[in-house]
Structure 1
Amino acid sequence: MIHGYSAAVEPARWQNILADSVTDPRELLTRLQLGLDLLPAAVAADKSFRLRVPTPFIDLMQPGNPHDPLLRQILPLGDELLEHPGFVSDPLGEQHSNPQPGIVHKYHGRLLLIVSGGCAVNCRYCFRRHFPYADNNLSTTEWHQALDYIRQDDSIKEVILSGGDPLIATDKRLAWLTTEIAGIPHVRRLRVHTRLPLVLPQRITESLITALTATRLPLTVVLHCNHANELGTAQRNAIQQLRQAGVMLLNQAVLLRGVNDNLTDLCDLSENLGDTGVLPYYLHMLDHVRGAQHFLVDEATATRLMAQLLIKLPGFMVPRLVREVAGQPAKVPIPVDLVYA
């Protein structure tokens, strides 16, 4: 049973693990028994977007394998420094949907609250790798202004806690924020987008779950899991804690070259998510953010893979293939033709 939240019992273990995250490319390569021939490019790319990865995520990687699908998501590469036409710093036009600090309001009926500019892990394909988080680091006054923005727009039915990663915030901050949001009568749902149950599963504690679920609002947690190898024992246990608290669990992945761009890995991802009670929700085409062009999978390959997935798996375990396009009123579904399976 989850007991009432008390700010006096804020757990520190996850914060200590986070503080010990690997931020030096040399240390990462050494831990994984990889040759230092990768180091010069990693150091160069690290200067524009810093390496950050917690040790629980490193523990899921295969030592000696430079092509490990988890490593590939977080290791800085020289390819990031190459300029490619069409790859820009703000591919989704979010800075035009940032009406005031802390809010991204792109779609009808819902908005994002930027709870934290920090992440436990810096994913190299992140579409917000150039986002002006410094301008969205809110003071107390700005937090109240952000909440007032929601209060004044009764079309907003859902608030999405995002970032960075919102679960980097303390339990005390999250408890206050969810209570304030629940006090807005027209808000009906709360959603959290997070990678922490996968990269730092120690963050999922009784205290955190209470902070998120103690209000009237039903909670949906959307994980960002791209490969079945991310679902280790500790990660599955963290997910089970959320399930036992009655949280709806969805997953959105990104189709990434060299990570999950084949039928076997996509099937394994959906099967393993299903085994843990997580429903595959979206498979995103790569956002064209500057520095991530080497992850691009072309649309023809993507639709062929999706057609094969539809044949291999029951429909509820097949995510929707989508692309996010700046200025569009919703994510854009990509049609799949079974003829090309």
Structure 2
Amino acid sequence: MSVTLKSRTARDAAALIEAGAAPEARRAEIEAVAERYAVAVTPAMLDLIDADDPEDPIARQFVPSLAELDARPEELADPIGDEARSPVKGIVHRYPDRVLLKPMHVCPVYCRFCFRREKVGPGGEALGEAELDAAIAYVAERPEIWEVILTGGDPLMLSPRRLKHIFSRLDAIPHLGVVRLHSRVPVVDPARIDTALLDVLSGAEKTVWLAVHANHERELTEEARAALKTLHGAGVSLVGQTVLLRGVNDDAATLEALFRAMVRARIKPYYLHQGDLAPGTSQFRTGIEEGQALMRRLRGRLSGLAQPTYVLDIPGGHGKVPIGPAWLEGSDAEGWVVEDVNGVKRRYRPA
């Protein structure tokens, strides 16, 4: 495959087929899905797709499948209740001390399991200046808000000029302590982590944290690791977000490799998300019991540095809660019963 074919983001069936990311036989199904949901696969991800492997975990995340048009009754257009917790356009206020700020709805890639798949895409609604003013004012008027989380869409798709403008507005709010960004960019389009962007992030007065989304070890390429190293060197603290996905990472060995790769790349694994009830995503969702069993297997195999918290974002906007396995079974007159990492029940008798 020539380099030219993979020098641009594939946004339709023809481009995916030309780049070798999908066979000609899938043209009609990809076109059908693309009429409903946005499609984009960056050159960095196209290079990772093994066209000869029908179960390729990278292709599964980004190349449309007809299963996406199979919406189930339990699935929701707004699965985590953003709209119900949006007092001002661009703001989601779910917890007392932090808010989401969504300046745009464009992403470098469109994940086939995305919980905001009804909102994101080319031409996705972006905040105008007056709308941004109202969103910033909402934060400034509420001293209980300590953290602003830039999301969307992907905030690192903003131009450095626009991002600097937003940071300057947030830096002027005295009670804010942290600005966090959620992004796929360092992994799926690492060339965007350039000097202009690093200058914005390193120049911020607030502490900057970046939650990096990756679901498989192969996504952390040499180029991605180099981009993450420069971000870390610019003073940006890195945490990792992963979605538990059937056919991508729903086994202990794959998760172990991913979380180790994250730690090597200076990312602290932060959350392992149970799949949300977004339309057409049942093909990806595991049962919670499966996720708990995986987390149980990882305990003892991975150090605490590499252990994320397994969480469920409760539908309706009620927030994230830990749903990992329980190790403490209860207490009686003889003390507590606790299970060790090998599955053996032990007694703990406090004084």
Scaled by the length of structure 1, the TM-score of the pair is 0.90
Of structures 1 and 2, the one scoring higher in RCO (CA 8 A, sep 6+) is 1
Q: After the TM superposition, which parts of structure 1 deviate over 4 Å for at least 4 consecutive aligned residues?
A: 132-136, 338-341
More strand by share: 2
After superposition, give the CA deviation of every residue in 1:159-207 in whole Å (9 maximum; x if it has no partner): 1111100011110011111011010000011101000001100110121
Instruction: Give the drift of 1:20.
Output: 3.0
Q: Give the structure 2 partner of residue 67 of structure 1.
A: 55
Residues 309 and 324 of structure 2 are in contact (CA less than 8 Å); yes or no, is this contact kept in structure 1?
Answer: no
**3-state SS of the aligned residue for 1:91?**
coil
**3-state SS of the aligned residue for 1:155?**
coil
Question: Given the alignment, which residue of 169, 177, 190 partners 2:179?
Answer: 190
Letter in 2 for 1:254: V
Q: How many residue pairs get matched?
A: 325
Correspondence list, 1:19-98, <5 A: 20-32=8-20, 34-98=22-86
Question: Given the alignment, which residue of 249, 252, 261 partners 2:241?
Answer: 252
Residues 91 and 225 (structure 1 numbering): CA distance in 2 closer, same or farther, change over 3 Å?
same
Aligned counterparts of 1:315 and 1:128: Cα–Cα separation in 2: 31
**3-state SS of the aligned residue for 2:102?**
strand
Residues 151 and 34 (structure 1 numbering): CA distance in 2 closer, same or farther, change over 3 Å?
closer
Letter in 2 for 1:142: E
Q: Give the structure 1 partner of residue 211 of structure 2.
A: 222
Instruction: Give the drift of 1:54.
Output: 1.1
Residues 18 and 36 (structure 1 numbering): CA distance in 2 closer, same or farther, change over 3 Å?
closer
Is the aligned partner of 1:111 residue 2:111? no
Unaligned runs of 5+ in 2: 328-338, 344-351
Residues 101 and 136 of structure 1 are in contact (CA less than 8 Å); yes or no, is this contact kept in structure 2?
Answer: no
Unaligned runs of 5+ in 1: 1-16
Larger radius of gyration: 2
Question: Given the alignment, which residue of 264, 284, 309 partners 1:275?
Answer: 264
Residues 19 and 59 (structure 1 numbering): CA distance in 2 closer, same or farther, change over 3 Å?
closer
Aligned counterparts of 1:216 and 1:180: Cα–Cα separation in 2: 11
Residues 150 and 19 (structure 1 numbering): CA distance in 2 closer, same or farther, change over 3 Å?
farther
Letter in 1 for 2:167: T
Compute the RMSD of aligned alpha carbons: 2.1
After superposition, give the CA deviation of every residue in 1:74-104 in whole Å (9 maximum; x if it has no partner): 1111111113121111111111111121111
Q: Give the structure 2 partner of residue 4 of structure 1.
A: none
Q: Give the structure 2 partner of residue 319 of structure 1.
A: 308
Scaled by the length of structure 2, the TM-score of the pair is 0.88
After superposition, give the CA deviation of every residue in 1:134-159 in whole Å (9 maximum; x if it has no partner): 78522211111111111111110001
Residues 38 and 120 of structure 2 are in contact (CA less than 8 Å); yes or no, is this contact kept in structure 1?
Answer: no
